[in-house]
Each structure stands twice: as structure tokens, then as C-alpha cells.
Amino acid sequence: TIRDVVPRHAVMSGKHVERRAGWDCHGLPVEYEIDQKLNITHRDQVLEMGIDKYNETCRSIVTRYTKEWESTVTRLGRWIDFENDYKTMDPTFMESVWWVFRQLFDKDLVYQGYKVMPFSMACGTPLSNFEAGLNYKDVRDPAVVVNFPLAGDEAVAFVAWTTTPWTLPSNIALCVHPTMDYVKIEDKKTGNKYVLSKGRLPQLYPIMNNKKKWKPDKAGEHFEVLDSMKGADLVGKQYKPIFDYFVGTPGSDQYFRVVSDNYVTDDAGTGIVHQAPAFGEDDYRVCLAHGVIAKGEDLPCPVDGNGCFTEQVPPVAGKNVKDADDTLIKLLKESGRLVQKDNLDHSYPFCWRSDTPLIYKAVPSWFIKVEEIRDKIVANNNKTYWVPNQVKEGRFHNWLVDARDWAVSRNRFWGTPIPIWASEDMSEVVCIGSIDELADLSGVRVDDLHRETVDKIEIPSKKNPGTVLRRIDEVFDCWFESGSMPYAQQHYPFENKERFEKGFPADFIAEGLDQTRGWFYTLMVLATALFDKPAFKNLIVNGLVLAGDGKKMSKRLKNYPDPNLVISKYGADALRLYLINSPVVRAESLKFQEAGVLSVVKEVFLPLYNAFRFFLQNVERWEESSGKFVPSVHKVKATTNATDIWISAATQGLIKYVHEEMAAYRLYTVMPALVTFVTQLTNWYVRLNRDRLKGLEGDDAEAEAETGLQVLYDVLLDVTMLMAPFTPFITEYFYQELRKMQPSYKDRADGGGASNPVMPGKSDSVHYLPLPKYDESRLNEEAVQAMEALQAIVELGRNAREKRNISLRTPIKSVVVVLRNPSQVVVDGITGPLKTYILSELNAWDFQVIPKENEHDWVTLSLIPDFKILGKKLGKNMKAAKAKITGLTHDEAVAALDSGSLEVEGVAINTKTEVVSKLSFSKESEEWEATPSQEGDIVVAIDCTQDEAILSAGKSRELINHVQQLRKAAGLDLKDTVEVFFDEEEGIASTENAVAMNVSLFVNKFKGNVPLPKKFAPSWSVPLRSDNVEVGGSKVEVAICRPALVAKNGLPDSVSLFLSIVDPATVDAGATMSCTVDGTSHSVKEGEDFWLSAAAKVKATKAVSYL
């Protein structure tokens, strides 16, 4: 999702983006699947069937899932070119990989050495760490403690513990922890003297682990501590080797000494670890670091490719290492080197192919000299920009400064072959950098670079004419291919040379946090080695999306919903927004919850869609009476409505903010801002202006409606374009409707105009448009602040209502607000143009802001020390300071804030930054209810007095709500006029009294048709909908009826019958109508003989006093 949002935003910002799909085709995942399919358990089986057949089978499954992946990616909205894709198995890609390696080779950055890897003895091949983790089993292995006498003082011996006795013939060093405490002891039972970690004495004396039996004073019965030292004090000391198989061999003058490293722990063993660098990754690293062995040189490794000892260890020659343990332990015992023997039950890796135990073994590998260019890599990393930055400066930087040479070779088949041809003794080595070069040297031209093709090619030797050079066996690690991607995808330098060099380093990449040791690293290493540049300028690191239970998503466990089902159920935009507005874009993990995707639909898209639909409905309504709606930015800028000015300012501020934050690649700040804005638009602007946009407000209601609709159109279009990179589907839907209102729509491509010009209306898609630029003239911080105050007041006022359980339909007499040091602009806003909105939202009759000089009558200002700041500043005086600060009176607190400082215990305190101020309501009365803001800078109080006027107004609002529900149930449009009648129980006039006291409210709401008792309805009145409801606790039947003419009392039935079939909409006020019934002619006049509505008749005849 990140890799789609940023490129979309870049395109809409005027940049060119190559949307080219790429496929990783080589490596272990493919071989693993083929091995399972063909039941291959041994490397020799591949050679028997032929590498050509094996690789062809691999090739056949690589693209199996591409169509499925393409479908899912496209459905998710990622805009990418699958037709012009690249694959790592393409000859062009592989040739560029060869070129990359050749450059490193020519720069003397390539050498052959050893790498300790998981090794399958049955298959005779190294495995990846991934493969090594596929098949763990619980096993029992021998665990021995062995002594290593000090050279020159053989009465004292180091003791080391191991669960792999078979590695002891290859021991060439011992490792201690430099800061760990070590002791020299004398064993009371044998008199032997040993050196080991002080914390690991229980290894030799297990009784020390029994807390019930062991007491420190018993130590003397078992051993005596002769000396103490740190591990660092032991470094350099030499010892007598256990076996002499490698004494006197080349390089052995550096063997058999103590070294140190922090990997040694005291949670098992003796705190001294025996080192056999051919069989341990840490052993190899430590011995290399201390010069016990050297890069590229042979090291003691008396084990062959089948896991059997060679003739270098005669007593066990030909035996499998696991079978040799008993023999070696017997030899240790006979030589007096065995101190302790036990068994250990533990989990151990087995080969997933052969189901046999794995060992760790040094295998010949080809390395890149990363350590030689490490400082340059670190310097290039410093030139890049990462989000979040702490990954760059923390995890990645730490990895780089400790980076080791990179083993890039693998003993596999399906991969890019390493282009080295060499003589059998490696005395002549040629590195090939292109297909042409291979053809020149060998006379053979190829169009594929996989092993089945190039392994057969021989190059005549220049050093030894008559002999040939053959390609080495290994292929590249897939990460070398990944790191070569910037060059290989464009077949550089064989093609696209100028194009590549103009676009390198890449402007932007994105990948997961796990790639700090993967793709990010290999990109940086190769770009530095080739060009001394970083491979990219900007990078977003995403976190991992986990299953809802916090575990990795697993097909086997089925602990996550099918992504395709989630997209089908909620839409791709909802899933995109959920992910972009999550911790993932801050490189943190996300526990995926389907409910989170649903909440995006409910909280963002449904409100936004409803606002959009509301806009379209009211444009349609407006056009019925006022003509074609034509968007006009001029009208938007000319509005004087306070909420229009605010939403326009907020929109321009959002545009400015999104541009700034996206330029910094901070998606995690952009999405919350967009989501918040949608809430502001739908929950506040549209709600506050609902009646206005419907044409129900003001003297010139339709002109006011058009202004509001112009503003809403402008906002919706800007937001549609702004959100397009994030939510491409819903914004495209919105745009296709909004563009129809633009004058340029008639010039669109499918309307005969030029193809996709960059202009709203003409342009076929929102995704072809440039992002909107903010209009500085419409930025208005004062309007934004005033609206923020309104929203706070409304929210706090509603909270105060809830405390007293006062329904919003029941008016309140007054709302009083105390603001702590408000700007005059805010006060003018909420007491001026925004006042009517506050009164409407809180259903209040009056609103006032208390001036500062009268605040003390309503609130108390209190100060609280900021303990985090003042605790350090005041120390032991903090308690006294707290008492003084919290004990200030209202006036003293006001004075302290106004002056900006306060002296406490002889120390000046800054009251603006070192104390927190809080307003609290102080008018004790049943009449008032108040709520302070969480920050303590606003208090809103409401007058809770409930008199007859208030109660009747509340009942009126209830009645209006019931009428609106009946209209909705009847499917009526806003323009449809109805008459409202109600029927109360006999002797009760509660509803009629409420109507009588609030006539003007009903006149405004129902276009003059005030609700009337049912007795005033003509007999021919047609109910459209009716219901029995409660109004003020009383049962009332309410009906909405089709408008009908109403006859004068005493009019002949025949004339009344005629009037009953006439549509009031066809009769003008004061009109005279004639009719003939049964041969008799009649003439009736509106206003004398009949009226256009029941309300008109009741008013004219003064049937009720309130009309």
C-alpha cells in the first residue's frame, strides 16, 4: 500500500514514475517446493536427473501465481505495469548481475573464504537458516566437561563444557567473557585445580543448585577458591591441546590460546567456550577477530562432505561425527581430560529432506569485502532520509558499523551462476562480466545464463595452453540479485545507460523492517561498491502485519482472514486506509483486526459518502428552481458565512499540511489529518448547515443554499483530489460525479475533446489531475480557532446536559462560557456569527461569554505544579512549593499567570511553562450544571431551570421529530408539502398547548402548516402515514396528510365534494372557482367559501386563539 500511495502522490505532484512490476524468481522457496514435488532428498539426485530438467521444473512453477497475484494487487488499487515487468530469471537481468560482480572483482572486493552454515550430512550440502528451522526434534546428546591444562603450569586447567564432543579434535582456542568473574579452585576430592566462571561452579558441583540442601558454608567441603580474576585477565594464556592432530600445521602458532567475546554467557556450561571455527558460526567469527585464523586460509576441518571424519583424526576416520562421540569420549577419559560426562535433552535441527541431524560446518564461499568499504557504506547511509529515522540511526546504523564480509555464494542449482571460470587448483581465475565477453573467451554464444547452459562452457587457459577453465559450482545468493535490482531491471550498462544514470539513486523505496539486514543492506553495499553512492534517497520502513493473536500470519494456522474476502466485504479503500493509518507506517507491528477495517467504513467512508450524496441531492433540488449549478471559486471566496470561511480555511490548511508531510514521507501524520478533516466536514460543517443547504434558512434561502453548495463542492473536489493517492476507488467515484458540473466537462475525451487534459471536468480520471495547491488568501487561523472554540463549547454543553439527563429536544434557557485568556477574535466569533450555531446545537435560548472581570463570580482558577519539571528544579522544597501553589486564591492565581512568574521558597517559577492552570465551576446552585474542559481552560455552564415555556418547547421538538420520521417512512422529498394533525386522549391538551406556545417554530419548519387537532381535518383528508407516539409523556396519534382544500361550514355537500377533488397546488389565493353539480351552478371564492389548508381556515375563522 505504501508503495502505491507514494508513487501516486508523486505523479499527482508532477513527477514521472515508472510503475514496473518485478518478480523474484530464483532461490530456496522454488527449490524447496520442487524438492517436495519430486521427492528429492539428496543433492546427488538432482545431478542424476540433470540440472537442466531440475531447473526447467523450477522455471515452470515460477509464474504459477503471477495472475493470482496480479489480480489481488490490482484489486487493492496498486497502479503498476504487469505487461512491462522484469524477472530475476531473465537473461538481461542475470547479465547485469554478472556485470555488478565483475566490477567488484576488478576492484579486488571479491575473495574465496569459508562460511559456517547449517550442513546436511546426508545430502552433502549446506542449507539456509530458513531450511535449518523447518525440522526441529527433541534429542538426547552427550554433554561433557573437558580440562585444558595451562601451558607451563599443567597442574591448573581451564574447564569447558560442550554438547558436541565430536568437535573437540578441531579445538584451537578457548573463549571467555572479558568482564565476567572467574575463579581458580582446588577440588577437595581430587586435588585438581580448575579455572571457570564463578557463576558456573554449579556445573561441577550440582548440589549448589539445590537451594534446600546447599548452604554457602558447605563450599569448603567441596572446593577451595585459590584466586579470582576477570575474563580479560585470562586472554592470551596458552593451554595444552586435547588432541595433537593440528599441532604443527600451517598457522598453528596462533592456536591453543584464550580469547574473549561478549557472546559467552553464564546461563550454562562453565563460562569458558571451546572454539572449533570450522563448526561454529560464533567460533569462526571470534577466532577470525583474534587472529587465530585468517581470511581465505584453510582451517582445521577434519570432516568430509558426508559428515564423516577424515584420516586427519585416525581413531575415528570414516565414522559419522555423531557416531564418533563415544569413541572420542573414551579417548578423553583415557588421557585424563574428561572431567564430567552427562546427557542433555534438547531441541535440535534436522534436515527437512533426509530427516537426519544437521551440523554446522565451514564451507568454501565467495565473499564481498564489506569490511573494507564499511566506512563508505556508513557515510552513504548518512546521506539518506528514513521514516522513521530511528531505524536508520539505530538498527540499520548498528548493523552497518559491525558489518562483516558478505558470503554471496550458495551451493544450489536454480539461481544466477557466479561467473567465475577457474583452473582445478584455482591458480587461474577469470571473472566474466557479459554474454559478449563469455562468447569472446569461449567461442560459445548463449541466450540463457542458468547452470544447465553455462556449466558446459569451457574457456581455454592462457596460463597453461592445452588446459581449460571451468565454471565454479556455486550460484549467487538471492540477496545479491536483490541488491543488483536497480541496475539489472534496466539491463544496465548494456541498455538504458543514460536513463539509469539520470534516475540513480532512486527517489524512494519502501519495504519491511526485516529488510534492514536484507534488501536495504544489499542495496547500500552494492551501490557503495559500484558508485560510492547510496542506492536510494528516501525510504519508508513499514512494520509487520501480524495476525490478530499477535503471531505471524500462517496459512497452516489459518489465523488471518483471506485478504480477497476482506476486500470484497469492505472495499480496497477501507483496507488501504486501515493499513496506512496504523502503526505499520511507523515501522511498528500491527495486529490485524477485521473490525478495524469495518470501523474505517463506518467512521470515514459512510459519513463522507453521506455528505457527498447529500450534496448531490441538494444540487438537484436547487437546480429544479434555479437553473444549472456551475462551480465558482469566486462565489466561494466571496461568502461571508462564518462556517463557510472556516471550512474553506481548514481545507486550504489541510492541503498545505499534506504537501508538507508527504514531502517528508510521514504518512503516519497525513492520514490522521485527513480522517480528522472528514469528521470536521461531515459532523460539523454539513450538520451545522443542513437546513441552509436544503434552502430552508434565511430571507433569500435559495441564494444562501447556492453559496453553501458552492463551498461544499469546492471542499469535496479538493478533498477528492487530495485523498486520491490514498483511496483511489471512492475518490474516482466522487470525481466522476463532480466533474459533470464543470463547464469543461463537455470537452472531455469521450465528448469529442482532447484526450485527458489536466483539468477537472475534462480529465477522464482524478488520478490524471495535479494535486490542489493551497490558496494562501483563504488560510484563516482566526476562523479555525473560533470554530475550535465552538466545537469545544458544544461538546462540553452536551456533556452538562447529559449530567442532568436533559434531552437535546428540550431547550435550555441559557449557556454561559468562561474562557481562559481567549483572543478577541475567538470571542467575537462565538458571540457574533457563530452564536446562532451554538444556540442551535445546544438548543438554547441565550448564550454569553463571561468577561474576565466577572470570571470570579462563576469559576475558580487553580494552579498545579508540573511535578516533572519542578521536581528536578526544587528538589526537597517540592512539598512546600506544592502547598503554596495549590493554596493560591482565584485572584492570586490570576495575578500569577498574568505576571508570568511566581516566587516559591526563594525560587522563581515560570507560571507559563512550569505550572498547569485549571478552571472549575464555583457557582453552587441547582439551577446550573457545568463541565470543564480536560485542559482546564474552558468551563461551560447551562441553566437547567425547567418552566412551562421550556417544557412546551421540548414537546414541540418531540412532535417535529415524530413528523420528520413519518415523512421519511412515507418516502417524501423535502419539497413535498403535508398537513399535520394530532389526536390526544379526551381531556388532555398537552400537545395542543405546546403547539400554541411555539407557533413560530412550526410555521418556519412546516412552511406555515401548523399542526392542528384532528377535528380540524376535512373529512376527505388522505393520511399518508400515521403513528401512535409519545409527546412529553402523553400518548398522541400523529398523522401527515396530503394537502386538501377545506370548505366553509354549511357549504352544500355537493360543493364540498367538488372541492375535495381539487389539488390545492392548482388554486391561487383569493381565486374564484365555478362548478355545476346536478344542473345547479355554484361559484366559490378562496378565503371566503373555502381555504387552501386547514391551518388557513382555522386562522381565518379564529377557531383557536394561537393562530
- Residue located via cell numbers 581470511: 295
Single-letter amino acid code for the residue at 1079? G
| 379-391 pLDDT tens trace | 999 999 999 999 9
Highest mean pLDDT among 217-231, 490-504, 536-550, 944-958: 490-504
CA distance linking residue 183 with residue 621, whole number of Å: 93
Q: How many helices (H) and strands (E) does the chain have?
A: 42, 42
Residue 199 in this model has a pLDDT that exceeds 90: no
| 58-113 pLDDT tens trace | 998 887 778 888 888 888 889 999 888 999 999 999 999 999 999 999 999 999 88
pLDDT band at 43 (very low <50, low <70, confident <90, very high): confident
What is the model's pLDDT at position 367? 87
Q: How far apart are the first and last CA of the chain?
A: 64
Q: By percentage, how much of the chain surpasses pLDDT 70?
A: 98
Strand order from edge to edge, sheet including 1023-1031: 1012-1013, 979-984, 1034-1041, 1023-1031
pLDDT band at 13 (very low <50, low <70, confident <90, very high): very high
Neighbouring residues of 131: CB distance < 8 A, sequence distance ≥ 6: 28, 32, 118, 351, 352
CA distance linking residue 591 with residue 553, whole number of Å: 10
Nearest alpha carbon to residue 359 among 350, 368, 346:
350
pLDDT band at 403 (very low <50, low <70, confident <90, very high): confident
pLDDT band at 755 (very low <50, low <70, confident <90, very high): low
What is the model's pLDDT at position 769? 92
Residue 682 in this model has a pLDDT that exceeds 60: yes
Nearest alpha carbon to residue 636 among 622, 621, 646:
646
pLDDT band at 208 (very low <50, low <70, confident <90, very high): confident
> Which ranges of 983-1084 does DSSP label H, i.e. alpha helix?
990-997, 999-1005, 1053-1060
Of residues 295 and 849, more confidently modeled: 849
pTM for this entry:
0.79
What is the model's pLDDT at position 317? 92
DSSP letters of 506-532?
EEEEEEEGGGGGTHHHHHHHHHHHHHS
Neighbouring residues of 731: CB distance < 8 A, sequence distance ≥ 6: 720, 721, 723, 724, 766
What sign does the dihedral 562-566-569-571 (CA atoms) show?
negative
Alpha carbon 740 to chain centroid, angstroms: 35
Contact 825, 831 (CB under 8 A): no
Task: Quote the strand ranges of 972-1079, DSSP E.
Answer: 979-984, 1012-1013, 1023-1031, 1034-1041, 1046-1047, 1072-1077
Residue 305 in this model has a pLDDT that exceeds 90: no
CA distance linking residue 610 with residue 676, whole number of Å: 16
Q: Nine-digit cell at 858?
A: 462563576
Length of the chain as a residue count? 1107
Of residues 595 and 90, more confidently modeled: 90
What is the model's pLDDT at position 754? 54
What is the model's pLDDT at position 913? 82
pLDDT band at 306 (very low <50, low <70, confident <90, very high): confident
Task: Quote the strand ranges of 924-989, DSSP E.
Answer: 928-932, 938-943, 979-984
Neighbouring residues of 961: CB distance < 8 A, sequence distance ≥ 6: 809
Q: Which H, E and C letters describe 132-159, residue by residue?
A: HCCCEEEEEEEEEEEEEEECCEEEEEEE
Instruction: Give the residues across from 176 on adjacent strands.
Output: 260, 272
Residue 1044 in this model has a pLDDT that exceeds 80: yes
Nearest alpha carbon to residue 408 among 494, 475, 326:
475
- Share the mean pLDDT of the chain: 90
Q: For strands 468-471 and 406-407, give the pairing.
A: unpaired
Least confident interval from 177-191, 651-665, 875-889 = 875-889
Q: For strands 506-512 and 536-542, give the pairing.
A: parallel
What is the model's pLDDT at position 756? 59
Contact 1047, 1053 (CB under 8 A): no
Residue 130 in this model has a pLDDT that exceeds 80: no
Strand order from edge to edge, sheet including 257-260: 257-260, 173-176, 272-275
Residue 309 in this model has a pLDDT that exceeds 70: yes
What is the model's pLDDT at position 753? 53
Instruction: Give the residues across from 273 on adjacent strands.
Output: 175
What is the model's pLDDT at position 557? 65
- Produce one character per residue of 193-211: b if its CB has 16 or more CB atoms within 10 Å, e if not: bbbbbebbbebbbeebeee
Residue 135 in this model has a pLDDT that exceeds 70: yes
Q: What are phi and psi of 989, to 5 degrees?
A: -130, 30
Residue 551 in this model has a pLDDT that exceeds 80: no
Neighbouring residues of 1038: CB distance < 8 A, sequence distance ≥ 6: 959, 962, 963, 966, 980, 981, 982, 1011, 1026, 1027, 1029, 1031
Q: Nine-digit cell at 172?
A: 584451537
| 246-279 pLDDT tens trace | 998 888 889 999 999 999 988 888 999 999 999 9
Q: By percentage, how much of the chain surpasses pLDDT 90?
A: 57
pLDDT band at 523 (very low <50, low <70, confident <90, very high): very high
What is the model's pLDDT at position 752? 56
CA distance linking residue 91 with residue 438, whole number of Å: 14
Of residues 131 and 715, more confidently modeled: 715
- Produce one character per residue of 528-558: b if its CB has 16 or more CB atoms within 10 Å, e if not: bbbeeebbbebbbbbbebbbbeeeebeeeee
CA distance linking residue 41 with residue 7, whole number of Å: 45
